[in-house]
A and B are shown apart, each in its own frame.
Chain A
Amino acid sequence: MTKARLMQGNEACAEGAIAAGVRFFAGYPITPSTEIAEAMAKLLPQHGGKFVQMEDEIASMGAILGAAMAGDKVMDATSGPGFSLKQELIGYAACAEIPCVLVDVQRVGPSTGQPTAPSQGDVMQVRWGTHGDHPMISLCPWSVRETFDLTVQAVNYAERFRTPVILLMDEMVGHLRERVELPEKVEVYPRRSPKKSRAEGYQPFEPDEDLVPNVANFGEGYHIHVTGLIHDDTGFPVGSPTVTEKAIKRLHEKIDRVAEEIIHTESYFMEDAEYAVVAFGGTARTAYESVKNMREQGMKVGLVRLITIWPFADKIIEELAGKVKGILVAELNYGQVVHEVRRAAKGQCPVLLCGKYNMKSFEPVEIEAEIEKMISDVEGGRA
C-alpha cells in the first residue's frame, strides 16, 4: 500500500488507469469529468505515455481507438453531452473489437442540462446509446478507492474481451474526496496477441476458445484490416446474412457466456431482510445510511448495490425478488434501472421507484421515507 492520500474520485480514476497500464488518453474538457483529463495530462508523461487534448469529443474517441490498435492501453473520459457525441465510435469499438475504456461522469440532462450537478441519468444511454446491436460492460463505483479498483477492472475487461467498457461514475463520487491508500501493484490483463503466425493461417478476427479474437497490433507485420463494417474472421466486410448473423451473435455471446463472472453486486443487512433497496454509485452510499438508520430502529430492510450495471444482474435480482416483500430502486433520475429490476423480478414482489432529478443528491431521510411508504403500501395491500 502507498501512503494514505486525500483524493478525489476523478483523481483515483486516473491513478487506476495508470496502474492498469493505460499509456494513452485523448480527451475534451467537460465537467464534471475534467479532473480525470487534468490528472492524466500530469501523470501520463511521467510514465512515458501521452495525453492529447483533441478538438472535440469525437476526435478524442477516434484517437484512443487508433492508439489502441497501435498497441497502447487507452482511456477517455467525458460527461453527458460528450458521451452522446462519442456513441458512434463506441459502436465502432464494439464492432471492430478495439479494447478501450470510456469514463462517463454523469451530469443532469437532457442536452446541456445542468452542468456539474449530480445525476444518474445515463444508465440507459450506456446500454443503448449506439446504433445497432452489441453488448456492453459498465461498472459503477461508490467510493474513491473503489473508483481506482473499478478503473483497473474496466481496463482489464476491455483488454480481455476486446470491447469498449464504460466506467459509469456520477458527480457525487467523481468529486468526493476521501482518504485512500492505493495498492503498490494491481493485477493487469495483458494485451491479447496472436497465437499463430501469418504463415500458419492467422486470421485477425478468428475467435479464440473464449469467442474473443486475438488481434495483432499495427506495426507487427500482420497486415490486418480493421473496419466498422460487419466482417468475417479475416476482418474484411462481407455482405452476407450468414456472416452478419454470426458476427453479431458472437459479439453478444463473448460477453453473455461470462456474465455471471463479471456481474458484481454487494449486499448489506440482507440476511433476514423483508424489504430491499437496490441502488448504485453515489446514491448507494446514501441508501446504505438510510438502511442502517432503519435497522437501528428494528426494521428489516437491506441494501443490494449494483457494481456491474451492464450486463444487468438478472439472476441476483430474480432471487432477491423471491425472498423479499418489496424492492425500492433508488436512483438519481426519472426512473431507468427500476425498469430492469422490474423485468428481472418477474412480478414476484412489488418494485417501486425512489427517483430524484432536481440537481440534488439524496438525503438519507428521503430514501427512508420512501422505504416506509413502500412497507406501509405493501402491508396495506396497496402495492
Chain B
Amino acid sequence: MAELERSYEKYFRQNRLPHLWCPGCGNGIVMKAIVQAIEKKGLTQDNTVIVSGIGCSSRASGYMDFDTIHTAHGRAIPFATGIKLARPELNVVVITGDGDCTAIGGNHFIHGCRRNVDLTVVLFNNNIYGMTGGQASPMTPMGGKATTAPYGSVDRTFDACALAEAAGATYVARSTAFHVQHLTDMIAKGFDNKGFSFIEAMVQCPTAFGRRNKFKSPAEMLKWMRDHSVMKAAWDKLEDVKKGEAIGQGKFPIGLLYESSGSELDYDAAYDQVIERAGGAGK
C-alpha cells in the first residue's frame, strides 16, 4: 500500500508542495483522483496537458507535473479548446471551480459542451468563491450564507450537470470528495469518452463555506456528502414523489448521469472531415 501511495508522487511537482489550500480543504482529494484516473487509463505525463482557470481549485495545475497552464478567470475551456484543436493527440484536462466555470466562464462552458471538443472538465464544486474570501457563487445553495450574501443567498443555483447535458456534453458525471474511488472512476470513464466530458466533484470548503453554514468541521462536511448523495441506480428507482422528497431534503444523485450513444463526432473528428472536404488533408 505504501508503495502504491508513493507511486503517485511522480505526478506532482515536489518542489511546488506543500499546496496553499486550507487545512480540511477537499481540493487535494480531487487533484489526486485526477492523477489516479490518469494512471488507471495509462495516459502519460508527456501527452497530458492540465488547463485551469482562476480560483482555489485552479491552483492545482501548478502542483501537477505535466504541461500545465493556469489561464485567466473563466477562460480555461477556450484555452483548452485551442490546445486540443492544435494538437488533437494530447489528452487535455480542465480544472475549474464553480465560480470560474458557471459564472464568468458560463458561456464558454455551454459552448464547450455544444462543440463536443474532446476535453475532460473536472469542476471542483465547493459552493463558494474561496480564493477571494467566501463570496456567493452560482452554486451557493439558496439561503446559504456568503460574504456577499450575509442574509442567505437569494439566487437560484445551477445544476451544472443538467446544464452540461442540455448543452450537448457527451459524458456527464457527479461524485464527491467523500467517494474517492467512485470519483476516480467517474474521471477515468470521462477520459474514455471521445468528446466533451464533464465531471462535477463536490468538495468541502470548511474555511469560506462551512464556517458560515453551520458545518462544524471538514469531517462534518464529508459526512453531509455521504448522507445526501444517492447512487444514480438507486436514484433512478425512486418514484417521482420520493425523488421530490429527496430533493427537498437536499439529496442529489451521484454517478454517471448522462452518456451519449457515442454516435456524435467529437469536434476534432468533425474538423478532420472539413479539412478533407477543403482538400487540405496531409498538409
Contact = CB atoms under 8 A, between A and B. Distances in A.
Contacts of A58: 75, 78
Interface stretch (A49-57, A143-151, A264-272): A49-57
Contact of A219 (B49, B278, B281): B49
Interface stretch (A59-67, A294-302, A322-330): A59-67
Interface string A26-45: 10000000000000001011
B79 A49 contact: no
B67 A222 contact: yes
Contact of A70 (B71, B87, B281, B282): B87
Interface residues of A, number: 47
Interface size class of B (residues with CB under 8 A): 35 or more
A92 B54 CA distance: 13
Interface in B1-54: 13, 16, 45-47, 49, 51
A236 B275 CA distance: 38
A225 interface: yes
Nearest to B45: A223
B280 A46 contact: yes
B127 interface: no
Interface stretch (B58-66, B177-185, B252-260): B58-66
A229 interface: yes
A226 interface: yes
Nearest to B79: A66
Given A52-B85, A92-B71, A59 B271 contact: no
B72 A55 contact: no
Contacts of A74: 82
Contacts of B278: 42, 45-46
Contacts of B51: 66
Contacts of B271: 45, 50
Contact of B275 (A45, A88, A226): A45
B71 A54 contact: no
A154 to B, nearest CB: 19
Nearest to A48: B283
Contacts of A63: 78-79, 81-82, 85
B111 A54 contact: yes
Contact of B82 (A55, A64, A227, A229): A64
B80 interface: yes
Contacts of A67: 82-83, 85-86
B107 A56 contact: yes
B103 interface: no
Interface of B: 13, 16, 45-47, 49, 51, 61-62, 65-72, 75, 77-87, 89-90, 107-108, 110-111, 271, 274-275, 277-283
18 contacts: A44-B280, A56-B107, A58-B78, A62-B72, A62-B78, A65-B71, A65-B79, A66-B71, A66-B80, A89-B72, A89-B75, A218-B83, A219-B90, A223-B67, A223-B68, A225-B68, A226-B68, A226-B69
